[in-house]
Amino acid sequence: MTVTVIMLMFLMVTIPIIKTIIVLITVVKMVVIVMIVMMEMMIAMAAANITMMEVNTTMTIILASGLMMPLMTMMMMIGARILMLTMNSDAKSRDYSFLPDHPRPGHADLVESVRSDGPADLRGGGSQSARLTFGLVAAGSQARILLDNVGWSCHAHLHSVGEVKSRPLFDLEKKTPLDPSSDSGRLNCRDAEAAKSMSHEIESVRKDRDTIGSVVELLIEGLPIGVGEPWFDGIEPSLARALMAIPGARAIEFSHGIRSSTMRGSEHNDAWVPGPDGPILEGSSEAVADGSLGGRSTGSPISVKIHFKPPSSLPRKQFTLHLPSNEKMPLKVGGRHDPVLGPRSAPVVEAVAILVMADLGIAGGYISN
């Protein structure tokens, strides 16, 4: 009896000590990792004779001379790797307490759980979460300078919500920053009149406690003839593979898109005509000609439309399988969810296109790396 008491007392004393040691070890590891990252940055900056006076939310480095330059440029100068971190301090895991027992319709909850044999963390969409597109947008913001240096550009905006459509992006002003307080700014739509109608449509859908589909339009300009690699690394295959990986993307169209299947060849074909600097496709100046043939650029603007499904999380009850009971039961998904994906998807589409075109430009020798 005495031995048992002594053992219990020993455990009561040692277990908290062991827990404390484990926590301290974890903290030390984190501190060491942060220090290593900071040292690498300091060494890299010292090698380029750069003083970091400020790193703001736009990822800009201020040089000792007082000039500013994108982080990408600075890192290219010294050949260093780029590390960008973001901390999500606004997570609400309790909104997903029904998982994995009650997988949501339209979400990847069940397939991820089955594929991982159970351990998948499904909160917030898990590995399928649109939050992960932050890395794409951050990388695209830095890679843009590679395209700027050779006169290429990628612009994207919200083209349609339901049946409400904007004018073609080619006909709209693309460079001026949008007013974030306007309908255009909130929706990432460069057609102000269409944005107002879209806003009304979205509000109507919200009142119906439903969601709606949308389309993002992408316009790539400035490419010479010949950009793109054979077969799977052509412009369309490369863009399609990358853009269709964006959560919620369901279809993609190039140029005439699905209309091509109902057109005649005499209507679909674009004739080559003399241009000021060589051959150009008829219709290039209006962005109605094919921007890519055989996976390679024609010199005409490349018009792409990416179709996004309605968000799967509805603010209303849906009947779906409850795994423990093996019966369909009502599920109402709480939390913060958008009624449409297009407005938030537009910057992601633009960033993904920048990354793809930068890769193709480097592969073809058009961009120096």
Which pLDDT score, from 0 to 100, does residue 59 have?
37
Q: How confident is the model at residue 126 (pLDDT cuts 50, 70, 90)?
A: low
| Same-domain pairing of 50 and 197 | no
The per-residue pLDDT for range 194-227, each reduced to its tens digit, is 999 999 999 999 999 999 999 999 999 999 999 9
The per-residue pLDDT for range 2-11, each reduced to its tens digit, is 666 666 666 6
Which pLDDT score, from 0 to 100, does residue 100 have?
79
Averaged pLDDT, 153-162: 98
CATH number at residue 184: 3.60.150.10
Choose between 37 and 32: higher pLDDT. Answer: 32
Averaged pLDDT, 127-142: 84
Last residue of a domain, one of 42, 59, 78: 78
The per-residue pLDDT for range 269-328, each reduced to its tens digit, is 999 999 888 999 998 888 888 999 999 999 999 999 999 999 988 888 889 888 899 999
| Same-domain pairing of 66 and 178 | no
Separation of alpha carbons 54 and 42, rounded Å: 13
First to last CA, the chain: 75
Separation of alpha carbons 120 and 108, rounded Å: 11
Choose between 286 and 91: higher pLDDT. Answer: 286
Please classify residue 34 by burial: count the beta carbons closer than 10 Å to its beta carbon, then call 0-12 exposed, 13-18 middle and 19+ buried: exposed
Of 162, 145, 91, the residue nearest 336 (C-alpha): 91
Place of tokens 């590891």: 29
Q: How confident is the model at residue 76 (pLDDT cuts 50, 70, 90)?
A: low
* 158 domain residue, yes or no: yes
Lowest mean pLDDT of 21-35, 139-153, 251-265, name the range: 21-35
Which pLDDT score, from 0 to 100, does residue 106 have?
83
Separation of alpha carbons 57 and 59, rounded Å: 5
| Same-domain pairing of 137 and 229 | yes
Q: Which residue type does 111 have?
A: V
| Same-domain pairing of 32 and 140 | no
| Same-domain pairing of 135 and 54 | no
| Same-domain pairing of 342 and 198 | yes
Which pLDDT score, from 0 to 100, does residue 87 have?
76
The per-residue pLDDT for range 322-360, each reduced to its tens digit, is 889 999 999 888 777 899 999 999 999 999 999 999 999
Q: Say how far residue 11 (Cα) sits from the centre of its chain.
A: 51
* 22 domain residue, yes or no: yes
Which are the contacts of 162, defined by CB distance < 8 A and separation ≥ 6?
Answer: 201, 205, 212, 213, 214
Look up residue 332 and give its two tokens: 């109402």
pTM of the entire predicted model: 0.77
| Same-domain pairing of 196 and 334 | yes
Which are the contacts of 17, defined by CB distance < 8 A and separation ≥ 6?
Answer: none
The per-residue pLDDT for range 168-204, each reduced to its tens digit, is 999 999 989 999 999 999 999 999 999 999 999 999 9
| Same-domain pairing of 197 and 52 | no
- Angstrom CA distances, 110 to 129, 289, 324, stand at 14, 43, 13
Lowest mean pLDDT of 53-62, 76-85, 213-222, name the range: 53-62
| Same-domain pairing of 148 and 50 | no
* 348 domain residue, yes or no: yes
What 8-state DSSP symbol labels residue 55? B
Query: What is the count of structural domains for the chain?
Result: 2
Residue 56 has pLDDT above 50, yes or no: no
Q: Say how far residue 205 (Cα) sits from the centre of its chain.
A: 24
Q: How confident is the model at residue 122 (pLDDT cuts 50, 70, 90)?
A: low
The mean predicted confidence, pLDDT, of the chain is 83
Choose between 330 and 122: higher pLDDT. Answer: 330
| Same-domain pairing of 139 and 276 | yes
Averaged pLDDT, 55-61: 35
Lowest mean pLDDT of 57-71, 129-143, 312-326, name the range: 57-71
Q: How confident is the model at residue 266 (pLDDT cuts 50, 70, 90)?
A: very high
Q: How confident is the model at residue 46 (pLDDT cuts 50, 70, 90)?
A: very low
Domain housing 237:
129-259+269-363
| Same-domain pairing of 164 and 247 | yes
* 101 domain residue, yes or no: no
